Amino acid sequence: MDRARKDLDACQELADIIELRLDLIEDFDLPALLKLAGKPCIVTNRCKMDGGQFSGPEEKRVDILRKAIDLGVDYIDIETSTPGPLLKSILENKGTAKAILSHHDFTRTPDDLNPLYDLMCQLPADVLKIITYATDINDNLMLFRLLARAKKDEKQLIAFCMGEKGEVSRILTVQQGGWLTFGSLETGKESAPGQIPARILKHIYRVNELKLESKVYGVIGDPVSKSMGYLIHNKAFQAAGLPHVYVPLLVQNVTRFFNAFEPYLGGLSVTMPHKEAIMKSMNRIDPAAERIGAVNTVVPDGNGWAGYNTDYSGALKALEPHGPLKDKNVLIIGAGGTAKAIGQGVVDQGAILTLTYNRNKEKAQALADQLQCKLISIRDVDQAAVDILINCSPSGMAPNVNDTPFPARLMKPGMVVFDSVYNPMETRLLKDAQSAGCTTVSGVELFVHQAAGQFELWTGQPAPVDLMRQVVEEKLSPQE
Ligand SMILES: NC(=O)c1ccc[n+]([C@@H]2O[C@H](COP(=O)([O-])OP(=O)(O)OC[C@H]3O[C@@H](n4cnc5c(N)ncnc54)[C@H](OP(=O)(O)O)[C@@H]3O)[C@@H](O)[C@H]2O)c1
């Protein structure tokens, strides 16, 4: 009860309606909780089978809901799994309370939810709730279709998917006509898998403000849970007065996802491992992205889609304040995906590029052939002429913050040192470079400019770059 009191207090600025999960509160005092809530409440007493903690007899479980009805509660939640006679009796004797008839599937999303919905429609409930588990990102679309049907039928429906692959429907359900979405009070206080903190739903995804015309953007990748895109892009849309939303999309099969989700999308960011596979779904590919062989941004293009690479343009933007690249000696550490995009950028600007290989010479040689540049071993960097050094390897990234891919003794005043690693923001490489009097460019600049490039391609408006940088720096700053 002590914790419940504190939680109710914390709910006040976030929730429009509060669910009291009585099965999770020991020795609850319902009249006191209802008084403290001060907002419409849903009283729920979940049994184990539906993901709750109540373990007593069903009669006793439902009796607690009856008491809530007697106390004048706004809503009770009753599961379709409740034994028939108990379910019927509570639905027919709910007094002034409204009944939410709920169904949970914690393992999957069935191919056709219509038969279940039809059955539930036959019972005298006020709101239907159908929650399934997403084993594939496309499962969310089944729930969107059901929401469209409920809208036509003028039925109030709560519908979304649980699990990490279901986050998109938790965010978009209200936009798609759902009656509400659930948010946790904070990370670690989720009452179901994949629940998003209410503060993020409200202030970052702006779920209360989304309209059907709000365009949906997102990042596809695997994994996507660490991506900062949702913060930077949602804040940028908000600052620009745009009603759009940006969501994480945990995708395994890119083509299957894109074919199904396309009508819902305004554009996409694409991250590992899908930057090459997405190209097949594009009607047009920007020449720079074509040369690189990777797309990180998907933009509507007439009746189809175009692919761009803003790692390429973002890296050039980050280097722009430090003078022209033409005829400069650029040394890139690494020969992976980032080296490919940035290497292509500096070569296109007329720089003299040298790449390094570490363990995998064959792969690095293929990139050096593609970019028609020199390749040396990472152990021979002291022989390279360097005006601009760009780290495109993970060396120095947390937790290995004492690593550096380039010896400090080779750094000279006037050199530009650009680290694509942004975690930490100030890597050992950048600290060494500052001590040696070099000009430094942090990985935050690359991240911010590639995101700003995406924003500009999607909206046709200049990106709020300073705000985007502030969002990233705040997120990456060590927490006290
Ligand atoms: N700021 C941003 O927005 C942004 C965006 C993307 C990436 N990044 C950063 O860029 C880094 C590289 O990403 P990626 O996608 O290109 O990775 P990747 O494809 O895995 O390539 C990493 C490259 O670094 C080389 N390497 C690994 N450890 C090394 C070391 N200790 N010394 C020298 N070379 C080393 C690897 O060579 P071998 O395979 O031969 O070992 C490989 O060529 C990431 O770790 C990330 O921090 C930043």
- The residues annotated with a catalytic role in the active site are 104, 129, 275, 311
Residue 480 CB contacts under 8 Å (≥ 6 apart), including other chains? none
* Cβ(395) – ligand 1 distance below 6 Å: yes
Can you tell me the distance from the alpha carbon of 281 to that of 305, in angstroms, rounded to the nearest whole number? 8
Specify whether the CB–CB gap between 8 and 34 falls below 8 A: no
* Cβ(182) – ligand 1 distance below 6 Å: no
Per-residue pLDDT tens, the chain, 480 aa: give them.
Answer: 999 999 999 999 999 999 999 999 999 999 999 999 999 999 999 999 899 999 999 999 999 999 999 999 999 999 999 999 999 999 999 999 999 999 999 999 999 999 999 999 999 999 999 999 999 999 999 999 999 999 999 999 999 999 999 999 999 999 999 999 999 998 787 878 889 999 999 999 999 999 988 999 999 999 999 899 999 999 999 999 999 999 999 999 999 999 999 999 999 999 999 999 999 999 999 999 999 999 999 999 999 999 999 999 999 999 999 999 999 999 999 999 999 999 999 999 999 999 999 999 999 999 999 999 999 999 999 999 999 999 999 999 999 999 999 999 999 999 999 999 999 999 999 999 999 999 999 999 999 999 999 999 999 999 999 999 999 999 999 875
Can you tell me the distance from the alpha carbon of 382 to that of 407, in angstroms, rounded to the nearest whole number? 8
Cα(337) to centroid(ligand 1), Å: 7
* Cβ(391) – ligand 1 distance below 6 Å: no
For the question of whether the overall pTM of this predicted structure is more than 0.75, the answer is yes
Specify whether the CB–CB gap between 90 and 117 falls below 8 A: no
Can you tell me the distance from the alpha carbon of 259 to that of 263, in angstroms, rounded to the nearest whole number? 9
Cα(80) to centroid(ligand 1), Å: 51
All domains in the chain, ordered by first residue = 2-203 (3.20.20.70), 216-308+448-476 (3.40.50.10860), 320-441 (3.40.50.720)
* Cβ(357) – ligand 1 distance below 6 Å: yes
Specify whether the CB–CB gap between 47 and 72 falls below 8 A: no
Ligand 1 atom showing the smallest separation from residue 395 Cα? 31
For ligand 1, atom 6: residue with the closest CA? 338
